[in-house]
Structure 1
Amino acid sequence: MAGPEKNSEFLAEFLDDYFAESEEHLAGARRGLLALEHFVHQSNIDRASLDGLFRSFHSLKGISGMVGVRAAERLAHQMESYLRALRDWQATLSPEGMDALIAGAGLLEKIISEHRAHAPITDPSQLMARLDAIISEARNNRPVDNSTTGSVSTEPDPLRTSLQALAIGDGKNVWRFDFVPKPELSARGINVNYIRAGLQQVGELMHAAPRVTPEGGIAFEFLVSTSEEITSFPDLFDDGVTYARQVLLPAGGAATVDVDVAAAPVEPMTASYQALSSRASNMVRVDLARLDELMRMVGDLVISRSRLDERVKHLEAALPAPEWRPLQETSLAMERQLRDLREGVMRVRMVPIGEIFERMQFVVRDLAREYEKQVKLELSGHQTEIDKFLVERLMDPILHLVRNAVSHGIEAPNERTALGKPREGTIALRASAAAETIVIEMEDDGRGVDAEQVIARACAMGIGIRGRGAGAGARGSGVGAESISGPREYEKLTEAKIEKAENIDSAELLELICAPGFSTRAEADRASGRGVGMNVVSNTIRGLGGTLELKTEAGKGTLFRIQLPLTLAIADALIVQAGHHRFAVPQASVREVIQIDASEIKILENNDVIVYRGAALPLLRLTRLFGLPEDQREYFHAFIVGSGLNTVGIAVDRILGQREIVVRVINDPLIQVAGVAGATELGDGRAVLILDAAALARPAEGRRIAAHNNGLPRPSNKSVESRTDA
């Protein structure tokens, strides 16, 4: 007999399966709802969309009942009832009904999440009552007799078979009733509505549809499930109804059959869910923690292979060439095989980013209604695959960007018309992958970011700004640059000094927008105004080893670009040396590696600058950033990181080579160092720090890191410095 611990372990695994299946059914429901919305106020609803939604909510009801999540079970049943009314032509899809279905899907997700977190469960009674009122009103507004209306199909209905199998699997009896309308029956008041009402007293009406008889007439077919042990319905024969008990064939036969109750007794059958699918599933659900463990083991193999490679190199001088070459070939073969294994494990962890994009359609829909705007969402690249770990953590950043685009960016329809724009605004979500990097873009065609308003708001909130100077003459030399802080000082500025809004670049503007507590809204609403959204976006992207860029043009729109590594576990890296110390630089963040002659370095306001591709490029020496001993050298190597105005060169003494490294993230805040993303181990057993190239490339971040690592006071987080425009 299984003990309590064994039962507890089984229950935990069972709940994990429930949560995973719920996510799948909810994802299918969201897709179905988006397709169904096009049929509002239409009588001819796409049957495939309706059947898919019905199956999703029916499955959610069943599995929620199995694990005891009664709130989800009740709500899913009520939503199923509305879908059944739509399918049986008892109701027409109304805007109120569509809103209730979307709200129900969101509430189902919330209830399941609350159950998972052991939090208090939200009561769905209010939404259920709303759905019930919509169903009742729709039925009251339908014609009394619709026996001669509706589309007729002679094709077998897969939903009928699926529902029949589910009901029998739940231990219920399923009966099929056929009604053929006739003039003499109609004269007695017996029509399809009369029969439907009578069958609803027998049990749960699962399915109703018209069909063409062999003689060319019209008949109506009903499926009714009941828990009662009823053997016959003799009174229905007088009303022109024939009936038969439904059973499933034993395993090996997937069809449902009609049994004539007068000719043969009904034998009990074991429910076979082969009726739900004619082919076996080729999918295996795996816990993400197991994949994490598998990736960790692959990482250990990578480190062991590096150690083997080091030993093989040391043996080159001690062994004859005929004996050493086979060792080298074996080591190289292991390297190729490990790379294939690593890529295979990574592919298993990959999921489409469409999981996030699809949810944004509901966000845009709700916010557009709330702000009385017309907005369409365009999706591209939603099949792009990234690590499941990244998908879960990208939800909030993308959600904040989309919310801001609707609330701040897209103008009201009348305002857009006055500006010569289409009344309907556009938000585009795009995703693409290149090598080891994924790029996600969120672009809108709204009003753009008002730099002057951002600066004014920053000053009013006491966030300091160090500009480039009031006029063009000060630009590039630093002359006239001054610190602006506080609302009183801002009010004293002349119009000429407000030209800082024209001189500020996108990187500096992004720093202001992402400052903690910053918001251009005086009052908060559901979508924005609390000053935490963009700060969350920035911190999350940085924490994932990525970069966030902003491009905006007044009156034209705004573009946010997120660049992230495809995975955070194992990466290719350049091994560099600076001040007798070795560092690893993720190769995905390096644009180019160049060699610099010491005589080519120019000093501009105590900053090193070189000419790179015909333009000035700021140069940061790694030895100075980390306070390491510096040797006089005739030449340096530098790796170029960043993009646009954030492009910088990081100077090092030497480039030692390229390695596949295992990323060990430093989570302890007591030992975290600015500019360091983590650590790794090379083949010789020594630990090597992994540089955060994105942090080094950010404006003024290099100076902050240098000040911090050399024991100097660190600049305030409220100070946003601009790099000298050389």
Structure 2
Amino acid sequence: LQEQLSLLIVSRFRLDRELAAQAERGVDVRGLREIAELQARQLRDLRRAILRVRMVRVSEVLEPLALLVRSLTRPGHKELRLEIDAHETEVDKAVADRLLPALVHLVRNAIDHAIEPVEERLANHKNRAGLLRVSCRERGGSQLELVVSDDGRGLDRAAIGRRAQRSVEADDDLLDVLTTSGFSTLDAATHTSGRGLGMDIVKRITVSELGGELWLNTVVGQGTQFRLKVPLTIAIIDVFSLSCGTQSFVVPVAAVEEIFDLANEREISPPSANDATSTISLVERRGHAIPVISLSGMLEITRGDARKAMVIRRNGDLIAFAVDKMLGRHEVVVRPLGDALVRVPGISGATDLGDGRPTLVLDLFELGARFTAREGRA
């Protein structure tokens, strides 16, 4: 059913394009437009019906975690109490199937790295059994937020910084190090961790595969919290289409805070006149300075006349991407880029807008991370 719905959506795009072309030639298409609008409503109803069938309770998805905890803890040495707070939240089974391995890695890491042995906890006036809590909430009707937290020893920033040979005072920098492939805080691998793959897998699943976000917060002696935000469904999503130079792209609607006209905002710092490759400027919006990144410049494609800006919020900070034109809002079928050789940072998949050509789906959060990392090195 999902595949058939995907084909219907692509056909719908092609119908819209043909109607627009006929209208430009002066053909009266008002009757056909009414039929097309009726079809669009029927497709939305069909999509919702199929999605309801695909939805599963998050509480059922998290059930294997209890068995995992029992298998990795030992009474008298390392004890742990697992709390799961999922309420009645539901998620697309396709998302759940991808998400569970990431949660398994987070739980393994908490048990192996964060939760102290019983003697150490008692010496620090803590309960003998550590607490690991997994909670989730639906956000905005389109996203699922999961929080995995523990009351363990917390992360030693100084030790991690020495091992990584860089500063990790900011949570973003600490998370960047921990999710680097091959990095481990252990000198030797155990049967559950220490190979430097777990957190890299968590980030790849959350950010690259599901197009979500990942945050970290830790306090020494009090514990660590990982927060994941992912879409409720990934097969068919709402997107904005846009143009940059001679190319078109789409971005998930859920990723965009707002869209504004660049002409209406006061430019504080224009791109450097001495640097033809400069892609960043600053504008003032509602009393705040927002960095505006040229999307075409960041993607290293032909630049056009940037008139619009899409704003995202990354780790609490606003970042805007300048684009030439916003083309519209659509429901699209997203296809992952399965070949590792064509995986490019900032590109999360491809779709078909009815012209028979693949249109790339941009991951603005990953592009924002690249910008933040580059600014940090500057």
TM-score by length of 2: 0.87
Q: Which moved more, 1:400-409 or 1:305-314?
A: 305-314
1:725 to partner: Cα distance: 11
Q: Please, which of 257, 262, 269 is the counterpart of residue 596 of structure 1?
A: 262
Q: 1:685 to 1:601 in 2, by over 3 A?
A: farther
Distance in 2, matches of 1:537 and 1:575, equals: 29
User: Residue 305 of structure 2 contacts residue 324 of structure 2 at CA under 8 Å; is this kept in 1?
Assistant: no
- Choose 1 or 2 for highest CA Rg: 1
Match of 1:309 in 2: 16
**3-state SS in 1 of match to 2:340:** coil
Distance in 1, matches of 2:159 and 2:18, equals: 62
* 2:250 aligned with 1:566: no
**3-state SS in 2 of match to 1:518:** coil
Distance in 1, matches of 2:118 and 2:18, equals: 70
Q: Which runs of 5+ in 2 are unaligned?
A: 273-277
Distance in 2, matches of 1:358 and 1:664, equals: 29
1:344 to partner: Cα distance: 1.3
Q: How does 1:573-652 map to 2 (within 5 A)?
A: 573-597=239-263, 600-602=267-269, 607-631=280-304, 636-644=307-315, 647-652=318-323
1:614 to partner: Cα distance: 4.2
Q: 1:578 to 1:354 in 2, by over 3 A?
A: same
1:401 to partner: Cα distance: 0.5
Match of 1:710 in 2: none
Q: Which has the higher helix share?
A: 1
**3-state SS in 2 of match to 1:520:** coil
Match of 1:170 in 2: none
Q: How does 1:377-416 map to 2 (within 5 A)?
A: 377-381=82-86, 383-416=88-121
- What is the one-letter code of the residue matched to 1:348? V
Distance in 2, matches of 1:450 and 1:543, equals: 29
1:408 to partner: Cα distance: 1.6
1:609 to partner: Cα distance: 3.0
* 2:20 aligned with 1:296: no
1:439 to partner: Cα distance: 1.5
Distance in 2, matches of 1:604 and 1:652, equals: 15
**CA deviation map 1:415-436 (0-9, x unaligned):** 3344443333211111222322
User: Residue 266 of structure 2 contacts residue 283 of structure 2 at CA under 8 Å; is this kept in 1?
Assistant: no
Match of 1:667 in 2: 338
User: Residue 314 of structure 2 contacts residue 365 of structure 2 at CA under 8 Å; is this kept in 1?
Assistant: no
Match of 2:153 in 1: 447
- What is the one-letter code of the residue matched to 1:539? R
Q: Which runs of 5+ in 1 are unaligned?
A: 1-293, 460-464, 466-499, 704-720
* 2:123 aligned with 1:456: no
Distance in 1, matches of 2:351 and 2:71, equals: 46
Distance in 1, matches of 2:254 and 2:76, equals: 40
Q: Which moved more, 1:524-533 or 1:368-377?
A: 368-377
- What is the one-letter code of the residue matched to 1:600? E
Distance in 2, matches of 1:444 and 1:616, equals: 36
Match of 2:81 in 1: 376
**3-state SS in 1 of match to 2:342:** coil
User: Residue 507 of structure 1 contacts residue 645 of structure 1 at CA under 8 Å; is this kept in 2?
Assistant: no
Match of 2:375 in 1: 723
User: Residue 346 of structure 2 contacts residue 366 of structure 2 at CA under 8 Å; is this kept in 1?
Assistant: yes
1:521 to partner: Cα distance: 1.5
1:584 to partner: Cα distance: 0.7
Q: How does 1:269-288 map to 2 (within 5 A)?
A: none
Q: How does 1:699-718 map to 2 (within 5 A)?
A: 701-702=370-371
Q: 1:529 to 1:664 in 2, by over 3 A?
A: closer
Q: Which moved more, 1:643-652 or 1:303-312?
A: 643-652
Q: How does 1:500-515 map to 2 (within 5 A)?
A: 500-501=167-168, 504-515=169-180
User: Residue 306 of structure 1 contacts residue 683 of structure 1 at CA under 8 Å; is this kept in 2?
Assistant: yes
User: Residue 681 of structure 1 contacts residue 688 of structure 1 at CA under 8 Å; is this kept in 2?
Assistant: yes
- What is the one-letter code of the residue matched to 2:11? S
Match of 2:275 in 1: none
**CA deviation map 1:31-53 (0-9, x unaligned):** xxxxxxxxxxxxxxxxxxxxxxx
* 2:224 aligned with 1:519: no
Distance in 2, matches of 1:363 and 1:669, equals: 31
1:615 to partner: Cα distance: 4.1
How many pairs are equivalent?
368
1:632 to partner: Cα distance: 5.1
Distance in 2, matches of 1:563 and 1:422, equals: 30
- What is the one-letter code of the residue matched to 2:347? V
- What is the one-letter code of the residue matched to 1:302? I
Match of 2:31 in 1: 326
- What is the one-letter code of the residue matched to 2:151? D
**CA deviation map 1:262-299 (0-9, x unaligned):** xxxxxxxxxxxxxxxxxxxxxxxxxxxxxxxx212111
User: Residue 251 of structure 2 contacts residue 363 of structure 2 at CA under 8 Å; is this kept in 1?
Assistant: yes
Q: 1:516 to 1:314 in 2, by over 3 A?
A: closer
1:512 to partner: Cα distance: 0.3
- Cα RMSD after superposing both structures: 2.7
Q: 1:551 to 1:603 in 2, by over 3 A?
A: farther
Distance in 2, matches of 1:643 and 1:532, equals: 24
Q: Please, which of 341, 357, 364 is the counterpart of residue 62 of structure 2?
A: 357
Q: 1:615 to 1:599 in 2, by over 3 A?
A: closer
**CA deviation map 1:577-627 (0-9, x unaligned):** 111321111112222222223751525996433345544433221110222
1:335 to partner: Cα distance: 0.5
User: Residue 508 of structure 1 contacts residue 722 of structure 1 at CA under 8 Å; is this kept in 2?
Assistant: no
Distance in 1, matches of 2:327 and 2:338, equals: 28
Distance in 2, matches of 1:725 and 1:612, equals: 26
TM-score by length of 1: 0.47
1:575 to partner: Cα distance: 0.7
Match of 1:695 in 2: 366
Q: Please, which of 682, 686, 705 is the counterpart of residue 353 of structure 2?
A: 682
Distance in 2, matches of 1:544 and 1:630, equals: 29
- What is the one-letter code of the residue matched to 2:15? L
User: Residue 507 of structure 1 contacts residue 646 of structure 1 at CA under 8 Å; is this kept in 2?
Assistant: no
**3-state SS in 1 of match to 2:331:** strand
**CA deviation map 1:542-570 (0-9, x unaligned):** 22322221122222221111122222221
* 2:8 aligned with 1:343: no
User: Residue 600 of structure 1 contacts residue 610 of structure 1 at CA under 8 Å; is this kept in 2?
Assistant: yes
